[in-house]
Amino acid sequence: MKKVFEEVRLGNLRLKNRLIRSATWEGIALPDGGVTEEAYEIYGELAKGGVGAIITGFTSVALHDYYFGGMMRLCGDALIPQYKKLTDLIHAEGIPVITQLALGAYYREINGKYRQVEPDEMSENEIQIVIREFIEAAVRAEKAGFDGVQIHAAHFFFLSRFISPAVNHRTDVWGGSLENRARILLEILGGIRKHTSLHITVKINSSDFHYGGLTEADCVAICRLLDAAGIGSIEVSGNGTSVGGIRAHKNEGYFVPAAVAVAEAVNRPVFVVGGSHALDTMEAVLNNTKIDAISLSRPLLREPDFPQKLEADNGYISRCVSCNACYSSPSHKCIFRGREQRG
């Protein structure tokens, strides 16, 4: 019988429990992608809160990625010391840390200005540039002390769009069939495996929830390809990431059915994000399926020490009310932090 609060292996990583902090957007990095004092405070609090592993927020692999402001970046060696300070801070609490490597969009320089370019418009050379950026960022991540990297292929950012038939209409080796659309993920995975010894995980949409987009069957098929290519683990999410109004024992775990299908299809550890609020619900998922771990985002915004509270009281329920007001707050902080009432 699997328990949330027991040691588990996630590939080559050893976690003290089966709770993983899912990558969560903060938007507080310096313009060059540097780490702010506020970010160190956020991750220090998370590391002390009892989670088994931490995946840091959206970290762009490119300097000229203008999709968001405030993105963390691993696009240059000068940033490595700042990220080493971050990993040291988390490791001091005995917590493994993974950085989520991502690209909001690809931007091409035209007459001195950068313009977003969709996958259909990209040249072969530009695709290879993106692949190299992911690999080089992973090398920097290893130098900075990260235990792993997560390839962000979800939420309709660049890689998610590239593998989606709703967006990628290419007719060359990078488009058309599912295998061709997924080729970019396999090339990135292969390059990172060749040049680092990091744990490599991927975040993928269970579905694009978009007409003509990636379906659950497509997700499972791509995960099989990644499994065969040596991915370390898989996190299942979905487009339109955060369902509102989640209540314990009523509508938790909205991506669980798709994650079950993925876990049945692959031989790698699978974890799932999305609406987990109660220990008994989480353990039912773990024990009735092949899913290995639960990842958390919004509940840790409300209570970074939620895992500690859950371990101390197995009837404890997350105070997160899934209002999604965190999305419009500075640094994606919970608007209820510090209040006494239960949500």
Mean pLDDT of 246-253: 86
Q: What is the mean pLDDT of the chain?
A: 94
Q: Residue 343 — pLDDT band, cuts 50, 70, 90?
A: very low
| CA separation for the pair 270, 18 (Å, rounded) | 11
Taking 60 as the threshold, does the pLDDT of residue 227 lie above it? yes
Instruction: Report the 10 Å Cβ neighbour count for 209.
Output: 13
What are the residues whose beta carbons fall under 8 Å from the beta carbon of 197, sequence distance 6 or more?
A: 142
Query: Which pLDDT does position 245 carry in this prediction?
Result: 82
Q: Could you tell me how many residues make up the chain? A: 343
pLDDT of 143 reads: 98
Give, in order, the Cα–Cα distances in Å from 182 to each of 89, 153, 174: 35, 10, 8
Q: pLDDT of 78-106, one tens digit each?
A: 999 999 999 999 999 999 999 999 999 99
| Residue 241 pLDDT grade (very low, low, confident, very high; cuts 50, 70, 90) | low
Q: How confident is the model at residue 340 (pLDDT cuts 50, 70, 90)?
A: very low
Write down the pLDDT at residue 328: 77
Q: What is the pLDDT of residue 320?
A: 83
**CATH for 8-332?**
3.20.20.70
Start-to-end CA distance of the chain, whole Å, equals: 31
Tokens of 72: 């963390």
| Residue-wise pLDDT tens digits, 319-335 | 988 888 888 777 888 88
* Residue-wise pLDDT tens digits, 296-316: 999 999 999 999 999 999 999
16-75, pLDDT tens digit by residue? 999 999 999 999 999 999 999 999 999 999 999 999 999 999 999 999 999 999 999 999
| pTM across the whole model | 0.96
Spell 276-314 as b/e; 16+ CB within 10 A means b: bbbbebbbebbeebebbbbbbbbbbbbbbebbeebeeee
* CA distance linking residue 74 with residue 63, whole number of Å: 8
- Confidence label for 339 from pLDDT (cuts 50, 70 and 90): low
How far from 42 is each of 102, 106, 188, 225, CA to CA, in Å? 20, 29, 29, 35
Q: What is the pLDDT of residues 114-163, one digit of tens each?
A: 999 999 999 999 999 999 999 999 999 999 999 999 999 999 999 999 99
